[in-house]
């Protein structure tokens, strides 16, 4: 019997690439995806070391792509792998033409990026992500779950991969002519930065899902809307008013023609992209008075969405006089994409699914496991 090192072939758009290691296994010709999956299942049972090596190298490639340029020591700390192992594995990846090594750190080659993309679905199966995605979807009863392997709590740079996955799903369901609403926040900022498309959505309009909140202009809805619309080649409308207003100010400003046009457009939202807010954190960002914060604590508020604070059952316990999208619009929107990272937001997201099941979730693996743990 002929032997090769890890016996599978990855077909890339730029040609065919063999990935080999220092463990032998029977040679098998692989041309179709089904044969590839069958081969990997066989190797998982007969030669599990092959799969472990594949996972390790895939994780190293992913982290370099997220953090490039990155040094070996930093990579070692982030992944929890010894510097000796990182050195030998990155030397191998360099020899394969998948990464480049310079004084400034390691970076991906185009061939390396292509390989990562080709391996994504296969690695999701190997690492159990496909099964986990379906478990979480079924348990919550929501539309779709997409996961990035790893833990944001342990590796905050994972937010870039989560945002990229969210942007890819967003582009896959976006139709020219849709009205897109986007909330603010650091996660949404990463989402807008991750969007990459050559297609022009000339009949699409992007609008902020809420007014301005906080002092960080960069992560406010208006800025994120402007960035997103530019990348899509779409139209946009801004909302130049604070998120929360007094009753009289609300009545006056919302009748101003330009503001009213934007608010009317928000009500026609087809695709809503939003992050998850923890009740007390959002209350502090809004600088609510202490007595109001205590009220939220007394009423067991755990989550916030569009100016509404809700408990674990999805019951509204407090409503603010906010500008932007409302819960009624959220409930009737065709596509709702929730993107968050970190286990501390899992409980808030579960509560939100008690308000609306028509949600597609994008998050990290550990947060998904936390959701299942909380639902036991």
Give the residue numbers spanning the domain of 51: 3-126
Q: How confident is the model at residue 1 (pLDDT cuts 50, 70, 90)?
A: very low
Tell me: do 195 and 79 sit in the same domain: no
- Bridge partner list, 147: 363
pLDDT tens digits, residue range 67-84?
899 999 999 998 989 999
Do 347 and 230 share a structural domain? yes
Within 8 A by CB and 6+ apart from 207, the residues are 179, 180, 181, 182, 225, 236, 237, 239, 262, 265, 266, 269
How is residue 343 annotated by DSSP?
G
Residue that terminates a domain, selected from 99, 126, 153: 126
Nearest to 179 by CA among 234, 135, 140: 234
β-strand pairing of 308-310 with 316-319: antiparallel
Shared domain for 61 and 175, answered yes or no, is no
Are residues 120 and 136 both part of a single domain?
no
**End of a domain among 80, 102, 126?**
126
Mean pLDDT is lowest, of 36-40, 75-79, 187-191, 310-314, for 36-40
User: Token pair for residue 62?
Assistant: 């992913």
Task: Give residue 123's pLDDT band: very low, low, confident or very high (50, 70, 90).
Answer: confident
What is the pLDDT at residue 18?
A: 43
Angle between helices 33-46 and 110-126 in degrees, nearest 10: 70
Q: Are residues 245 and 371 in the same domain?
A: yes
Predicted confidence at residue 4, as pLDDT, reads 34
Residue 168, classed as helix, strand or coil, is helix
pLDDT band at residue 2, thresholds of 50, 70 and 90? very low
CA triple 258-259-262, angle to 5 deg = 90
53 and 103, same structural domain?
yes
Say which residues have a Cβ less than 8 Å from residue 41's Cβ, sequence separation at least 6. Answer: none
Q: How many CA atoms lie within 13 A of 183 on its CB side?
A: 24
Residues 116 and 14 in one domain: yes
CATH of the domain at 17: 1.10.10.10
- Alpha-carbon distance 162 to 145, whole Å? 12
What's the mean per-residue pLDDT of the chain? 85
142 and 215 part of one domain: yes
Across residues 114-132, what is the average pLDDT? 88
Do 152 and 121 lie in one domain? The reply is: no
What's this model's pTM, rounded to 2 decimal places?
Answer: 0.81
Answer yes or no: do 48 and 153 share one domain.
Answer: no
Cα(107)–Cα(197) distance, integer angstroms: 22
Same structural domain for residues 303 and 272?
A: yes
Of 126, 152, 187, the domain-final residue: 126
What is the CATH classification number for the domain harbouring 154? Answer: 3.40.50.1360
Q: Indicate the SS3 state at residue 245.
A: coil
Number of domains comprising the chain: 2
Backbone angles phi, psi at 64, to 5 degrees: -65, -40
pLDDT at 189 over 90: yes
339 and 212 in a common domain: yes
Residue 119's beta-bridge partner residues?
Answer: none
Q: Which two tokens stand for residue 6?
A: 């890890």
pLDDT at 343 > cutoff 60: yes
Q: Which of 314, 376, 315, 319 is nearest to 350 (CA)?
A: 314
Are the beta carbons of 305 and 327 closer than 8 angstroms?
yes
- What pLDDT digit, counting tens, does each position of 221-271 carry? 999 999 999 999 999 999 877 655 566 666 677 677 788 888 999 999 999
Q: What pLDDT was estimated at residue 29? A: 45
């Amino acid at each position: 019997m002929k032997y090769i090192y890890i016996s599978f072939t990855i077909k890339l758009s730029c040609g065919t690439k063999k990935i080999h290691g220092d463990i032998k296994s029977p040679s098998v010709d692989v041309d179709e995806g089904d044969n590839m999956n069958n081969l990997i299942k066989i190797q998982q049972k007969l030669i599990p070391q092959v799969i472990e090596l594949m996972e390790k190298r895939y994780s190293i490639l992913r982290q370099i792509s997220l953090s490039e340029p990155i040094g070996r020591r930093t990579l070692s700390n982030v992944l929890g792998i010894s510097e000796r192992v990182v050195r030998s594995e990155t030397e191998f990846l360099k020899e394969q033409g998948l990464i480049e090594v310079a004084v400034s750190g390691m970076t991906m080659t185009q061939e390396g990026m292509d390989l990562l993309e080709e391996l994504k679905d296969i690695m999701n199966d190997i690492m159990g992500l496909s099964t986990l995605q379906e478990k979480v979807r079924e348990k919550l009863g929501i539309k779709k779950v997409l996961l990035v392997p790893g833990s944001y709590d342990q590796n905050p740079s994972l937010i870039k991969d989560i945002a990229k996955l969210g942007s890819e799903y967003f582009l896959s369901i976006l139709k020219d002519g849709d009205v897109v609403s986007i909330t603010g926040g650091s996660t949404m900022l990463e989402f807008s930065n991750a969007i990459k498309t050559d297609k022009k959505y000339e009949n699409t309009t992007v609008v902020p899902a809420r007014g301005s909140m906080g002092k960080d202009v960069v992560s406010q809805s208006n800025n994120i809307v402007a960035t997103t619309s530019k990348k899509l080649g779409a139209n946009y409308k801004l909302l130049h008013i604070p998120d929360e207003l007094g009753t009289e100010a609300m009545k006056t400003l919302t009748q101003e023609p330009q503001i009213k046009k934007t608010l009317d457009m928000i009500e026609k939202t087809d695709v809503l992209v939003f992050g998850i807010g923890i009740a007390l954190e959002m209350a502090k960002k809004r600088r609510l008075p202490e007595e109001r914060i205590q009220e939220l604590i007394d009423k067991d508020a755990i989550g916030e969405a569009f100016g509404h604070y809700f408990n674990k059952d999805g019951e509204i316990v407090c409503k603010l006089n906010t500008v932007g999208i409302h819960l009624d619009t959220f409930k009737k929107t065709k596509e709702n994409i929730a993107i968050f990272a970190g286990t501390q937001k899992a409980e808030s997201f579960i509560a939100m699914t008690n308000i609306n099941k028509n949600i597609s979730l994008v998050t990290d693996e550990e947060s998904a496991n936390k959701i299942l743990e909380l639902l036991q």
